[in-house]
Structure 1
Amino acid sequence: MPTPQPVRVFIGSGEASLLERKTLIHSLRKHTRRPLDLYVFNGTHNAIEHNDEAPVLANLPLWIKYRNFTEFSNYRWLIPEICGYEGRAIFLDSDMVCLADIGELFDADMGGCAMLAKAEAYKGASAWGMSNVLFDCSQCRFPLEEIFRQIDAGLYSNTDFHQMTPRFLEHHPYRLGPLDPAWNSFDRFEQGTRLIHYTNLRTQPWKFPGHVHEDLWFRSFEDARKAGVISAQDVDKTLSRGYARQDILDPVRGSVAGSGGGRRKRSFKQFRRSVLQALGLRKHAA
């Protein structure tokens, strides 16, 4: 039997998202028997980390890096070039958990499209959600310097580019098709969800209590720790830099951001106490 083609996955990340990135990577590996060819865009260092190889500098002009919405926004457009404009590749944001075989997405029928992405991702806008993209690299070339000069000239906006709106596509007519929505479920989990994306920055479980599906993320995080994918050093470094909630190893569950009485107040008090304890300031807690 021939060896299956490796599933080529690129993850957008940075030093601040180390824990969620490694949680995602473990979830990808856990649910597939296919070999994975993993690339991490580390926007903090303008670097690409490929499997277990030493990091290399990304071929992204500094003035374009500075136009990122996040640390890694513009790196996804390098993917076809990195792949030699051949084959397929998947791009994922780091704030996701995969719940199914990523090989199924990699092998999806693209119907001749250059990219599959989340259709009508944002209310009131004809826009694509590009946080999970399946690329046909042979059909995708992104002349970034030209694109950003056109942005500066007012032909379209950076948002138009990153959401592939009609205004952008008038100038660069890439053909996009709809990704199965189960592969990019914004903050929701239901029967059939293949990948959940924690998009609400105020309730991302590794930062704050209150996400309705926080338990799902913490189970994935603990799986990654037990498997040795996330080390004690990873956790210590993340906490010392303030990139995650200080009680992440023993998290307070439940909403502190919603409305309503005693439970919310007790949850907040418990959360505050745990944070102060972790910082060695417990004696000052009220």
Structure 2
Amino acid sequence: MSGDTIKVFVGCDPNNCDLEQMMVLDYSIHKHTQQPVEIVWMQLSRDDNSVWFSDPQNQQGWRTEKWATPFSGFRWAIPEYCGFEGRAIYMDADVVVLCDLAELWNHPMAAGAMVAGKGGQYNARLCTCVWDNVEAKKHLPALKDLQADPEGHHKLMQKLKDQPSLVQPYQDTTYNCVDGEDLPIEKIKILHYSDMGTQFSHEFSFPRLQAEGQKHWFDGAVMPHPRADLSELFRQYYHEALAAGYVPENYRHAAFGAFPKATQVNYSGNDVTRHKEQKSALSRTWKKIKNSLSGKKEGFSLDH
């Protein structure tokens, strides 16, 4: 697939909260990638001709009330958007690409797998992933059915839990390196600053939004990221992007307005940014025994 246009779909906020994230992601992709890249910014739309259409008042189009972000369920629409042809890459907006994206575009895919992502027998993280759009047609509901089901995102993540062979595990897990994972920067392919409370972009977006009389969609507690070197990396790319002619205003569009979504008031981040108390060995052993007796896959986690 050398020379192909790499199709990248990015989930982002519809009310201009993520302009800085979008700018840095766009710049980072083009800084490292030689092939042509087409980016589709997936944002809720009032246009009933848009794939991303939603009318919360009349419960038409996408139903977002169970989503943790303003775009959680959009990734499942990508194969149909592409006419169930070729490949497509999905990313959350809170990502910095540090490698040639052709590496991910050309990732091997086993027969029967519809998506490549960070995971395997016990987990599935699709916050960056590569779709085999042809194979996905066999397993995904029609777009209109997915849009109308508030539980659609969770049901499809459960499907991957029940059928892990549908996911091709990344050969290099740092194509979705969550908040650094204690790795040096030079070992990271794609940095996903996933903890919504410690996102580097808040340093720039929150003051901008306050000056505009707006609020960010994340309503949980904001705190510093534990990795100062990663914070500095984001600042570096932010200022490089500006110097290269990328500016936040290039990504602004007509705001969508209010929409229903899950709150993050009690959001607790992840184990990388907020080291949680480790469970005792006895507790972990007992959980394994219970899962074995019930037939559950021990420790399977999903990136809801």
Q: TM-score, normalised by structure 1?
A: 0.66
Deviation by residue 1:182-213 (Cα, 9 ceiling, x = unmatched): 10000004232100000112211122562211
8 Å contact kept, 1:130–1:162: no
Alpha-carbon distance in structure 2 between the residues aligned to 1:24 and 1:110: 25
Partner residue in 1 for 2:124: 128
Deviation by residue 1:84-106 (Cα, 9 ceiling, x = unmatched): 11101000000010001001110
- Code of the aligned partner of 1:131: C
Give the Å deviation of 1:146: 5.0
Deviation by residue 1:27-68 (Cα, 9 ceiling, x = unmatched): 00110111001111013x367xxxxxxx96225552534443
Partner residue in 1 for 2:86: 87
Identity of aligned residues (%): 24
Partner residue in 2 for 1:161: 156
Tell whether 2:83 aligns with 1:78: no
Note the 1:98-247 alignment, pairs <5 A: 98-112=97-111, 113-119=113-119, 126-141=122-137, 142-143=140-141, 158-159=153-154, 161-162=156-157, 164-167=159-162, 169=163, 175-179=166-170, 180-188=172-180, 189-190=183-184, 191-207=186-202, 210-211=224-225, 212=227, 213-231=230-248
Aligned length: 218
8 Å contact kept, 1:116–1:178: yes
8 Å contact kept, 1:41–1:75: yes
Alpha-carbon distance in structure 2 between the residues aligned to 1:103 and 1:78: 22
8 Å contact kept, 2:43–2:52: no
Q: TM-score, normalised by structure 2?
A: 0.62
- Structure 1 pair 210–59 and aligned structure 2 pair: CA distance change class (3 A): closer
Alpha-carbon distance in structure 1 between the residues aligned to 2:135 and 2:159: 15
- Structure 1 pair 220–65 and aligned structure 2 pair: CA distance change class (3 A): same
Other structure's SS at 1:70 match: coil
8 Å contact kept, 2:99–2:189: yes
- Structure 1 pair 229–193 and aligned structure 2 pair: CA distance change class (3 A): same
- Structure 1 pair 21–80 and aligned structure 2 pair: CA distance change class (3 A): same
Alpha-carbon distance in structure 1 between the residues aligned to 2:84 and 2:12: 23
Partner residue in 1 for 2:20: 19
- Code of the aligned partner of 1:143: P
Between 1 and 2, higher relative CO (CA 8 Å, sep ≥ 6) is seen in 2
Partner residue in 2 for 1:36: 37
Partner residue in 2 for 1:57: 50
